[in-house]
Structure 1
């Protein structure tokens, strides 16, 4: 149960925060109606929160702060939720005086990231795709390309259309327990989709109609600025994969799930900005092979793998290890590296990957086993020898990796995981 209330300049949230509309309405009332220039957001009794709601709140609070409103956060008492606030950057965006930016390096969640320029947007997308390569095993290239295209289009829409004074926020989570899924959330504090589309489409008469039109192919406020396929293509990717898709903007919410299909509803409390939630399910490896179609024709975007790793046909990939891995001392850091290498080898047409150990003076035995001993088992001896080249290794590193591979050859795959 959620309880949200405002007592003068103090806004209190208790219980589970699932929806953001009423909370943001309290900010609006306190700032725009009651004319408070200082507010306290008391979330000490909040017990859980979800990234779609929190990213929307973070975007609006950031906009208020940069407009001169002083907002203080009283963080959750719940230890797990407090840790989540730190790791996801929610705490930082709500109150940067109390929370530093997150340095979370896990591979199940990518902290909320802000971007305001095209370079920042592209860097954010590249970082996300790079981490996803190591987060989910056995990705198909078409699936990764569909995800990359979608998150690139939605984040870019913020810069092209939203007029958001803070730019945009993007956050990503991966899910492996029941389904192999990725969810990304993008939020801004701009003018919203209805106002954007109504400016160039007089046939749009309501906010629900605006969201209905927004997911149709080629719908845009100005064809000189964009083709209008970002929301359409992302909706198609999510729906085709039996995932989830949600857009909140103005007085409307558009929602798709595999059980109930598509629905568009009026919201009594408006959202000043746009929130897009996209969950893509990669459980069926071939499902998204032709998901991106425009004008009835399949579209094959240039992807991160091609731009970052594949320099030319027939040329080995140069994989500089110190740039690809944050630590070399545990299985935790070895597992995403192995999954990234395995995904790249499966996806790429390059004949070989040269893993350059220059600048890596030492690795732990557990790291060597997790990253390279298990990779040897996954590929098999012949494929490993043909496709993987280890170069510039220190003697101690070479010895540890040789030992890890030898032990895996002896004891086999009894405890290997994907």
Structure 2
């Protein structure tokens, strides 16, 4: 007779049988309570010390719910000593470190790593600094964005990750960012399994009535657990950024939630959401930024405009922006590298609003495909005169100059032939 496993329960997004938990997808937010309830039942109710996670059929992944689910698995593994076995794992889930989030202090990846599409751990302000710089570099090189976007991303990432460190009462946070190229949307999820927003604010002068009330307070200017620690501008600033960008913001903590979509704010109360227990109510901050919609950071922050330190660090003694090709970790040997550098140059130019000097000092040779992708396509897109005004070049040796000239000539000739055949 064929053995049939005992099914403990089965929902729309997750099934649990024997000691196996099987999520059906990692795109639906409703998966989270089903996963946490499944883990709690298997470990606490049925006493399993080893849990199998069956990931068969999971193809598409969004940061939310992937980050909270990865965070809960980490909690059960590291804090409760549960042994996990993963089966039928798609390649993408291994690639993004879903099974074991990457620790920025221990990672073996080097400079030039794509920080997007990866679940990361962070523990300290130093970790936040490294991760934010990595995210910004990856965004700059993956696509071109509108004015103010990179500053908005830097502000939001720094502030919300710092909130985890300062207020969660846990030493571990989780984050993942993802750029949807077709829709030009940056999706970010930041999660911790700490005390939650309600527990953080309940004994303050604000006296929130419940989790939803606490979340509503958290997006108001100046609201914070302790003014000695922070001024309470982080969530308020992110809320303003999302509003100006026409993006989306979702905050879930304990039994409360806030959704801000299409410039409409709605608070919600839940009977069963992402809580581990009363003392670990957990918080997930999820936001979408439309990379094609400009943002005025001065307006978002009530008249204050943050300094772009990345741009400042590129300036020489004469306040000229100098972009040194030799310092780019992706090198000069591939078309992909040329694509990433081209995106970064355009983003720098949009942010700085002044010429960016492309400096080839120390570069002995470049690939023709690199020259075509970087210089040929920029000239094709901007026109020769606008290119020369926006991106003056210097310190090319004769070999590099000859390769660039040939690539530009071929690109322009191709454009002429294409236009002639229209």
Please say which structure displays the higher CA radius of gyration.
Answer: 2
CA contact (8 A) 2:323 2:356 kept: no
2:22 is the counterpart of 1:12: yes
For residues 2-58 of structure 1, the C-alpha deviation after alignment (integer angstroms, 9 at most, x for no partner) is: 342333432222356513111012212333444433222222244544321110011
TM-score scaled by length of structure 2: 0.83
Structure 1 residues 224 and 103, CA gap change in structure 2 (3 angstroms): same
d(CA) in 2 for partners of 1:107 and 1:336? 11
Structure 1 residues 388 and 172, CA gap change in structure 2 (3 angstroms): same
2:96 is the counterpart of 1:91: no
Shift of 1:414: 8.0
**Alignment-derived partner of residue 43 in structure 2:** 31
Structure 1 residues 46 and 195, CA gap change in structure 2 (3 angstroms): same
Matches within 5 A, 1:364-403: 364-391=367-394, 393=396, 395-403=398-406
d(CA) in 1 for partners of 2:288 and 2:332? 32
**Alignment-derived partner of residue 310 in structure 2:** 305
**Alignment-derived partner of residue 97 in structure 1:** none
**Alignment-derived partner of residue 136 in structure 1:** 143
Shift of 1:339: 1.5
Aligned residue among 158, 181, 203 for 2:164: 158
**Alignment-derived partner of residue 258 in structure 1:** 262
Aligned residue among 168, 179, 188 for 1:174: 179
**Alignment-derived partner of residue 273 in structure 1:** 282
Matched positions, count:
397
CA contact (8 A) 1:337 1:371 kept: yes
Aligned residue among 196, 200, 204 for 2:204: 200
Q: The residue matched to 2:246 in structure 1 has which SS?
A: coil
CA contact (8 A) 2:13 2:34 kept: no
d(CA) in 1 for partners of 2:386 and 2:174? 42
2:127 is the counterpart of 1:120: yes
For residues 218-267 of structure 1, the C-alpha deviation after alignment (integer angstroms, 9 at most, x for no partner) is: 111111111111111111211222111101111112111117x2211112
d(CA) in 2 for partners of 1:391 and 1:251? 59
Moved more, 318-327 or 220-229: 318-327
Structure 1 residues 215 and 47, CA gap change in structure 2 (3 angstroms): same
CA contact (8 A) 1:150 1:234 kept: yes
**Alignment-derived partner of residue 149 in structure 1:** 155
Shift of 1:106: 9.1
d(CA) in 1 for partners of 2:76 and 2:108? 19
Shift of 1:199: 2.9
Could you say what the CA RMSD is over the residues aligned between the two structures, in angstroms? 3.1
d(CA) in 1 for partners of 2:176 and 2:345? 24
Matches within 5 A, 1:221-300: 221-258=225-262, 261-271=264-274, 272-285=281-294, 287-288=295-296, 290-293=298-301, 297-300=302-305
d(CA) in 2 for partners of 1:307 and 1:337? 18
Structure 1 residues 326 and 377, CA gap change in structure 2 (3 angstroms): same
CA contact (8 A) 2:174 2:191 kept: yes
Shift of 1:385: 3.7
d(CA) in 2 for partners of 1:378 and 1:85? 36
Gaps of 5+ in 1: 95-99
**Alignment-derived partner of residue 6 in structure 2:** none
**Alignment-derived partner of residue 7 in structure 2:** none
**Alignment-derived partner of residue 4 in structure 2:** none
Shift of 1:325: 4.2
**Alignment-derived partner of residue 12 in structure 2:** 2
